[in-house]
Structure 1
C-alpha cells in the first residue's frame, strides 16, 4: 500500500508540474524566444508590434542581484495566480546582453509590462506583490 501511495503522489506531482510548465510558472526567454514570442525588434526596429496572445510581464534580472532574488518568488506566485491570463517571462541579463541593450536596461530588476494593445511600460526596481498586482490589473488587464 505504501508504494501505491508514493506512485499516486508521484503521478499527481507530475500532472501538477505539467500544468505549471504550461501556464503557472515564469518562463525564461532567450533572445530567439523573445523575437518569436514578444517582439521581433530586429525585423521592425522602429515600430512596436507585440507577438504574444496574452499580456506579458518581463523581468530583466541577474542571478547575483539581491532585489531580483526577492522579486523572483513573488513572480512565481503571480504566475500561478494569474494562470493563462498573463504570461510572466524572465530574461537573464548576463546570458542575454543584447536584449538588455535593446531595451535600455541599466539597472535590475527592470520590469516590462506588455499589454495586448499599446506600448509597453517599464518599471525599475523591486516591487511588492500588491504593487505587481495593481500594475498587472491596470496596465495588462485594464481593470480599475
Structure 2
C-alpha cells in the first residue's frame, strides 16, 4: 500500500482563530504605527513649544534688562533733582537763619540811641575823636 499523506483539514474554528490572529497582528501593527506617529507629532509640538518658550524667556530677559536700565536712569535723575532741591533749601534756610541771628544780635532802636549817647559822652571827654564817633554812629544806624 502506498502511503498517503494525511492532510489535516482545518476546521471552522481554526480558520476563525487564524483570521482573528491576523487581524490582531495587523491591528497591533497599525496601532503601533499610530502610536509612533502620535509620539512623533507630540514631540514636534513640544519641541516647537520649547523653542517658543525659550524665545519668550529670552525676550522677557531682554525686556527686563531694558526696564532695569530705564529704572536706574530714572532713579539717578530723581536723586540729582533731590540733591539740587536739598542744596537750594539749605541755602535758603541758611540765609533765613543768618537774618534772624543778625536781627537778634542787632540792638534795638533804644539800645542804639543809648550807645550813640555814650559814644557822644566819650567824644566830649576826648576819649574818642569826632571821626571815630561818626564812624561808629554810622555803623549803629545802619543796623537799625
Q: Same fold (TM over 0.5)?
A: no
What is the TM-score normalised by the length of structure 1?
A: 0.24
The structure with more strand, counted as a fraction of residues: 1
Query: Greater RCO between the two (CA within 8 Å, min separation 6)?
Result: 1
What is the TM-score normalised by the length of structure 2?
A: 0.24
The structure with more helix, counted as a fraction of residues: 2
